[in-house]
Each structure stands twice: as C-alpha cells, then as structure tokens.
Structure 1
Amino acid sequence: MKGPTNILAIDTSTNRIAVALLQFGKPPVVAIKDDGLRHAEYAADLIKQVIKDSGLMMQELGGIVCGIGPGPFTGLRVGIVSAQSIGYALNIPVFGICSHDAIAFEYAQKNPNQDVTVITDARRKEVYWTRYQGIKRITTPIVSKLEEVSNKGVKLLHQPLDPVSLANVAIEAMNRTEKRVEIKSFATDSAQGDGAVVALPNQVLLPPIPLYLRKPDALTLAERA
C-alpha cells in the first residue's frame, strides 16, 4: 500500500459524526455519534477516543482523510477544519474524499457493478444525491427535492457513512497514484441551480475543500442591497 499507514478518517457531512483510525495489519478503531446539532462538541472527543483506543500517539499518525461532503455548511466544516488543524500541527498530509463515494464504496463491496443513487439529507426538504455504477461516480453531486432525483431502474441508497469506508476509498486512490489533484475550488453551474458541481474528479484524492452546493444563508451588506 502506498502512502501513510496510520490513517485518521473524519466525516461530519451528515447528522453522524464519524471517526476511524486505520492501522496496517490491525482492525480499525471506530467512534460514531449521531447528533446533527453538536458536531463541534463531539468531533474532538471522538478523535481523542480513537487515538486512545488504538494505542497510538497523535504524533504517529501518517495522514488524515476527511469527508468533503456534500453537506450542510455548519456540520461539514467541523470535520474539515479538524482535519486541517491536526494535519498542520503534525505536518502530515490531509486528503479530501467525496462523502458519497465512501457510501457507494461500502455498498459496492457486496453489490459490485450495481447502479445506485446515494442520497443524504440536505435539510430544507431537499437531498444531496450522486449516481454511481459500482464505485464509479457517473454524476457530480447535486442538491434538489427528492422527487426530482432521477431513479428509474436505479436503487436509491440512503444509509449512514462508515468512516472506515472513507479511509478505504483514500487507500484505493493512493494505490493508483500518490499525487493529489490540485484544485483551488469547485465550480458550480448556476443554470442548474445552486448545487450542480461542474467538475469533480472521480476516484482520486482531493484537497480538503468543502462541497456545500448551496450559497451561504448569511449575506454581506452589499449582497443584501
């Protein structure tokens, strides 16, 4: 396996705060809390818990993987900022993975090559969704009403994210290449509404840039005018 062998995985893109630590040759250590209102409160505690339960010291981490969404602004940024802060303090790499990729990856282990649409809650009576063939993403993540999701002949997959799968997606990408895709931001197509990502590379390591898909609720004075 290329890349770091002690990998910390963090995802806060949904109501689930999910953390895992993967060590080569050992079972993963996982800590999960389902609470959509207190991501910031629980994330740090769960990170400390998996480090302690693994028997490692923080300085022994080799890399960090964080789910970059899509997800609501407040919760999503908690995991990404946590990953970036630890990575900066330890001078270790931080990789981003589309959170929907991890859900599709887990499902594909028992259902290879099946067409699925991964769905997560976007609040405001909307959902985030992404279409897959096996583990290959064939649409970019989109936010819309549930009834607008194209599901003809495709299984709608609505299940919690396993942080171990998040790390495994990153490991698969590391085995293909050690280079990250250098992206400064993700462009959106206003013609398709707030939330259509124009270009999101598939099955590669991404920078830890959040996929919000929506414009922020808070506006500047100039934007309100």
Structure 2
Amino acid sequence: MLLLAFDTATPAVTAAVHDGTAVLAETDQVDARRHGELLLPAIDRVLRTAGVDKHRLTGIAVGVGPGPYTGLRVGLVTAAALGHALGVPVHGVCTLDAIAHAARTAGLAGEPFTVATDARRKEVYWASYDADGRRTEGPAVDRPAELRPRPRAVGAGALLYPDTFPGAHGPEHVSAGALADFAAGELAAGRELLPNVPLYLRRPDAQVPAGYKAVLPA
C-alpha cells in the first residue's frame, strides 16, 4: 500500500505519504487563503521526500470536510484529477475523524471527547467520539452556545469557545499524516471509506441575488 493523503478543509494545507505501516513524509502549512497555491507543491514535496514516484501510488486519501466551500473544493478537485490520471481509487475521510485519530495517537484516550473546528459565522463543525475513538455523534454545524458543555475537546473551534469547550487543547488542525494513518487502518481492516464528496453541512456563502431576472435571447 502506498497512499498519498491531503486535506484542505481547515486553514492547514497538509499532505503526506503512507506505506500502510507508517508515514514516510509529511508537510503542513497553515494559511487559510492559499490552499490552491500551496497544495500541489506540498504534494510534490512529500513524494520527493518519501522517494515515491506518483505512478507507484495505490490510492489517494482526501479529507472531505466538513469545511468551508472555497478551501475544501481545492482538495477534492485535486484528488479527483490525480485519481483519474493515475488510475487509482480516491478514498474520502471525514476531517474530524482524522483530527480525532491524531488526538488519540497523542494520548487523548480512555474517555469520550469532541472535535470542533472553526466554521466561521460564530459556528463550529463538530463530532463526538467514544473512548475508543469511534464517532458517536455528528458531524454537524452549530453555534457553540446551542451545545451542552463538552469537558474534553480538541480542535481550533473548541479553543475559540472555552465556555462550551472548557480545557480544550490541540491538535488545532488536521494532519495529513494522521488522516493517512486512519485511512490505512480502515482499508487494512476491510472497511469502506467515504466517497470523494464534500461534507459542506450548510449552504455556501455566495447566493443568487433576490429578484434576479434571467435575460433571454431576443
């Protein structure tokens, strides 16, 4: 197994190569405005660092969100294009699941916890997990004030709202290394991952103006 993994659903532009056992190379850069500019160089960098020719890849794992439309679509379109060009399957991974996997790997285990990322508009994308890291609720998008307090939480969204997520800590953003490791484990266990379809959870910011009139040809 040789997986190329990347995610653009959070401010982090992150890419990694995984051989089914361990991460061979990983890069992360936090810049919410440059996903399209940074992703392809990041992919090229991890492939070169890992010493892997892209034609040897057996699959692509991509974060499908939830996340803002503009950033998220960069990763999804890139995954679709690469998968088609290389003739390899594209596996979708919920970005919150990848953050949860990173949190458990870093030692957050033994108790249920919540992952929350910043959804803007004073909202968070969130999901809850049991002590074994299995998702039990979500993903969803809500205002933090509408949620009951979550005593154990990780993610940038949790850090923004301490009243709802007291004692929250990192990881703040998704890591492609964790996403790749999660995907590799699921595939090795024979479990299906998600399709390469975005988890937006709400309508995009751009809207057709009210009272818009279509112009028909004369």
Higher Cα Rg, which structure: 2
Deviations 1:137-192 (A, max 9, x none): 1112111222223334x3121222121111111122112226x4xxxxxxxxxxxx
8 Å CA contact retained: 2:16, 2:23: no
Question: How do residues 3-82 of structure 1 correspond to structure 2 at under 5 angstroms?
Answer: 5-24=1-20, 27-82=23-78
2:205 paired residue among 212, 217, 225: 217
In structure 2, do the counterparts of structure 1 residues 28 and 219 end up closer, same or farther at CA, with 3 Å as the change threshold?
same
Distance 1:133 1:223, change over 3 A: farther
Secondary structure of the residue aligned to 1:206 is coil
Amino acid at match of 1:147: A
Do residues 173 (structure 1) and 170 (structure 2) align? no
Q: Deviations over 1:75-134 (max 9, x none)?
A: 011111111110000000000010000111121232323211101011122111111113
Q: Secondary structure at the match of 2:137?
A: coil
Query: Alignment length, in residue pairs?
Result: 195
Cα RMSD after superposing both structures: 1.9
Is the Cα contact below 8 Å between 1:66 and 1:83 reproduced in 2? yes
Per the TM alignment, residue 22 of structure 1 is displaced from its structure 2 partner at its CA by 1.0
Give percent identity, aligned residues only.
37
Residue aligning to 1:162:
175
Flag as ranges the 4+ runs of structure 1 deviating above 4 A: 24-27, 220-225
Q: CA deviation at 1:26?
A: 5.9
Show the counterpart of 2:195: 207
TM-score, normalised to structure 1's length? 0.80
| Residue aligning to 2:165 | none
| Alignment partner of 1:144 is 2:136 | no
Quote the offset at 1:51 in angstroms: 1.0
Query: Residues of 2 paired with 1:96 and 1:81: CA distance?
Result: 12
Distance 2:2 2:99 in 1: 21
